Amino acid sequence: EIVLTQSPGTLSLSPGERATLSCRASQSVSSSYLAWYQQKPGQAPRLLIYGASSRATGIPDRFSGSGSGTDFTLTISRLEPEDFAVYYCQQYGSSHTFGQGTKLEIK
């Protein structure tokens, strides 16, 4: 089973700043089948990025994904107040597994 490790566990930034979240896989993720989700308190997760770098429908272009193999990154170019949430990566090339999450909090 592929294990995904996200870092940092918590990221403290201010609105307007750039956020960089990392997701590292224990083995190569097939065909970049890597997704990112955002979850706000009391809400279901929302798909942001699939295929490592494709934005899901309706996702603002300040969200971008990159990477391949075992190292992937979610970048939020300029943080808006509504972006503070928990972010999860997920691989779906071999079963489905989630990372443990990164909490993005307001500094």
Partner 1 sequence: EVQLVQSGAEVKKPGESLKISCKGSGYSFTSYWIGWVRQMPGKGLEWMGIIYPGDSDTRYSPSFQGQVTISADKSISTAYLQWSSLKASDTAMYYCARAGVLWFGERTFDAFDIWGQGTMVTVSS
Q: Which residues bind partner 1 (CB under 8 A)?
A: 1, 30-31, 33, 35, 37, 39, 44-47, 50-51, 56-57, 88, 90, 92-93, 95-101
- Provide, rounded to whole angstroms, the least separation between the CB of residue 105 and partner 1: 15
The residue among 16 and 41 lying less far from partner 1, judged by its C-beta, is: 41
The residue behind tokens 């489905």 is: 96
- Provide, rounded to whole angstroms, the least separation between the CB of residue 6 and partner 1: 9
d(CA 26, CA 59): 28
- Provide, rounded to whole angstroms, the least separation between the CB of residue 59 and partner 1: 11
Q: What is the dihedral of CA 62, 102, 11, 74, to 10 degrees?
A: -30
The residue among 1 and 61 lying less far from partner 1, judged by its C-beta, is: 1
Buried b (16+ CB within 10 A) or exposed e, 42-58: eeebeebbbebbebeee
